[in-house]
Amino acid sequence: MKIINLLPKEKQKELGYKRLFGALVVLVWVTAASFLLVVLVQMGEKVYFQGQRSFLESAIEDLKAQAGKEENAAIKAQVKQANDLVADYRSLTSQIPKFSKVVRAFVPLVPKGVNITSMKIDSARKSIDINGFGPTRDLVIDLYDNIAAESELFPNIDYPLENVARPTDINFHFSFNINPELLK
């Protein structure tokens, strides 16, 4: 079915313009409403993202503080380990006898020509065992006499007779105690 418009041409144009105007008004209102909606959505997003930003910044600060504590704990553990090592070293050095005093006191007692091949210092027993070589019996006896003369430093000499059984080329062995003061 076809509709026939019997109005004059001017009225038909006027009705066409009214329809066009109505369509334009609807278009303007739809455009304005969508623009307003877009602006509201963007403002909402801005508020949301600012809230997220402040939340994330506070979370980052918390993590930094926690990481700082963990790093401090690791550094404190390293410092404690180093301090323990130094304490162990100091403890050991205070317990180790000062053998240099013993050697310094003993070396002048050895006559020229006598060779000491080994010297064992036992700080627990506070004793010395020496082995050596002397070209003559007299030099080995001189060594014994020199040690005996320092009996306050080296008491209780064990002097086996085999040390003087031969007149020359003597391999000897002595044992004697150490004054505890020399080990301090």
pLDDT value of residue 96? 62
Q: Is the pTM of this model over 0.85?
A: no
The yes or no reply on domain 99-183 and CATH 3.40.1360.10 is no
Which residue, 167, 145, 147, is CA-closest to 155?
A: 147
The yes-or-no verdict on residue 121 having pLDDT over 90 is: no
User: pLDDT of 64-118, one tens digit each?
Assistant: 887 777 777 778 888 899 898 888 888 777 666 667 788 888 899 999 999 999 9
Question: Exposed, middle or buried, 175 (CB in 10 Å: 0-12/13-18/19+)?
Answer: middle
Contact criterion met (CB below 8 Å) for 110 and 140 = no
**Structural tokens at position 71:** 């790093």
Question: Lowest-pLDDT range, 86-90, 137-141, 165-169?
Answer: 86-90
Output 5 or 160, whichever has higher pLDDT: 160
Q: Can you tell me the distance from the alpha carbon of 169 to that of 171, in angstroms, rounded to the nearest whole number?
A: 7
| pLDDT at residue 97, as a whole number | 61
Over the chain, what HEC string results? CCCCCCCCHHHHHHHHHHHHHHHHHHHHHHHHHHHHHHHHHHHHHHHHHHHHHHHHHHHHHHHHHHHHHHHHHHHHHHHHHHHHHHHHHHHHHHHCCCHHHHHHHHHHHCCCCCEEEEEEEECCCCEEEEEEEEEEHHHHHHHHHHHHHCCCCCCCCECCHHHHCCCEEEEEEEEEECCHHHHC
